[in-house]
Amino acid sequence: SQVWDMNFDSDTNVIEVAVRRLRSKVDDEFDTKLIRTVRGMGYVLEVPERA
């Protein structure tokens, strides 16, 4: 589903900054990164399964 309607200003980097800050807080502790960029789509949070 979409977060913004068609009037969203895609020239801003608000999302990139927010994701970068989030990654700096959650990805450092894991060998496999939790937040993955899907080109042309957006971002995915992948939670590893416990062994």
Residue 50 belongs to domain with CATH number: 1.10.10.10
Range of the domain at 10: 1-51
Of 25, 22, 24, the closest CA to residue 14 belongs to: 22
Alpha helix positions (H), the chain: 14-26
CA distance linking residue 51 with residue 49, whole number of Å: 6
Which of the four pLDDT bands, split at 50, 70 and 90, describes residue 5?
low
pLDDT band at 6 (very low <50, low <70, confident <90, very high): low
pTM of the model: 0.61
51 pLDDT exceeds 60? no
Q: How many domains does the chain have?
A: 1
Span 10-48, pLDDT tens digits: 677 888 898 999 988 887 776 778 888 998 888 888 887
